[in-house]
Amino acid sequence: MAERRPNAVMANPPPQARIPVRKTYKLYVGGQFPRSESGRSYIVRAADGTPLANAVRSSRKDVRDAVRTARGAVAGWSGKTAMNRGQVLYRVAELIEGRRAQFIEEVAAAEGLSPADATAQVDRAIDRWVWYAGWADKISQVLGTVNPVSAPYFNFSIPEPTGLVGVVAPESSSLLGLVSRIAPVVVGGNAAVVIASESRPLPAVTLGEVLATSDVPAGVINILTGLRKELVPTLAAHMDVNALDTWGVPRDMRAAVETTAVENVKRVTRPPRGVDDRYDWLDDHRAQRPEWIAAYLEIKTVWHPIGM
């Protein structure tokens, strides 16, 4: 019988169980992924209460930093041709399509949806982004016009972007609602500071990763996560924000937020009367309209003498 040595090394050791790499969720500001200057985070839970991740809890300073970054991106983005903006935004849809499986998994976990329902949400979000991208070089023809005047002048009405828009994303629809509110803002040449869904922020953070690998210039879209009661009043009061989308503002905060926005005559976009947060974002006829693009455009009138 062969002698067994006590320190012999096993020829085929059993495989070790692999520990998956956990994802670290961050903000998306200026094309980068910073943590909050406060260092805070909060637990994001699935629809069944299971912890999913720790998301960044942004501070008021993070809002101010994002606004400053977005303001710096307005001139470059609005100065691009409409056709070029449409091409850049179409590329975003291509990248979302490439990460479709990941978005389906995140939406299903966040909203407690079946795989089929989550797939419908993600597919509609991709299609809606493409739909809005296609309006980039068409909205001017719809809103602009040559005005008849009884004088020796040409008179043109031309739409221009409002500038910097603060977007409070819908709470109940983590991806489709988010896309439905961001796309009409940026397609017209505006920059956006977005406060993502408080309870379901993870698809928004993943969208930031998509934007970072797209051709959208840094600073055009900035995504913050955190508590709405802390972030929304700061965004609404900021004097460098030109318009505010209040779709995701809690009902008990809307009056105060709109009052604050009056201080620098912000353009405020509200949900239709009687609509709560459980909006049917799958309804293309209601949630996908050129009027949402027009809500963030200003009409400039130009007079030009005839014959000169």
Model confidence pLDDT, tens digit, residues 252-282:
899 999 999 988 889 999 887 766 656 788 8
Q: Predicted confidence band at 302 (pLDDT cuts at 50, 70, 90)?
A: confident
Structure tokens at 227: 């508590």
Q: Helix, strand, coil shares of the chain as percentages rounded to 5?
A: 40, 20, 40
Do the domain assignments include residue 152?
Answer: yes
Residue 5 has pLDDT above 90, yes or no: no
Is residue 14 situated within a structural domain? no
Range of the domain at 218: 52-275+283-305
Instruction: Determine, yes or no, domain membership for 17.
Output: no
188-227 pLDDT, tens digit per residue, is 999 999 999 999 999 999 999 999 999 999 999 999 999 9
Q: Cα–Cα distance between 209 and 219 in angstroms, integer?
A: 13
Residue 6, domain member (yes or no)? no
Contact 297, 188 (CB under 8 A): yes
Domain annotation covers residue 31: no
Q: What percent of the chain has pLDDT over 70?
A: 94
Buried (b) or exposed (e) across 147-173, using 16+ Cβ within 10 A? eeeeeeeeeeeebebbbbbbbbbbbbb
Amino acid 13: pLDDT = 67
pLDDT digits (tens, 9 = 90+) for 82-140: 999 999 999 999 999 999 999 999 999 999 999 999 999 999 999 999 999 999 999 99
Match 């004097």 to its residue by tokens: 239
- The CA-based angle 210-212-213, given to 5 degrees, is 70
Number of residues written out for the chain: 308
Q: How many domains does the chain have?
A: 1
**Would you say residue 161 has pLDDT above 90?**
yes
pLDDT reported for residue 280? 83
Asked if the structure places residue 170 within a domain, the reply is yes
Nearest to 235 by CA among 134, 154, 164, 286: 164
Report d(CA 33, CA 53) in Å as an integer: 16
| pLDDT tens by residue, 22-45 | 888 999 999 999 999 999 999 999
Residue 22 lies in a domain: no
Look up tokens 């002048």; give the residue. 153
Model pTM score? 0.89
**Mean pLDDT value across the chain:** 91
Whole-angstrom Cα distance, residue 147 to residue 118? 47
pLDDT of residue 277: 59
Q: Which long-range contacts (CB under 8 A, 24 or more apart) does 262-266 make?
A: 263/237, 263/239, 264/239, 266/236, 266/241, 266/242
Q: Is residue 39 part of a domain?
A: no
The CATH number of the domain where 161 resides is what? 3.40.605.10
| Residues 6+ away with beta carbon under 8 Å from 127 | none
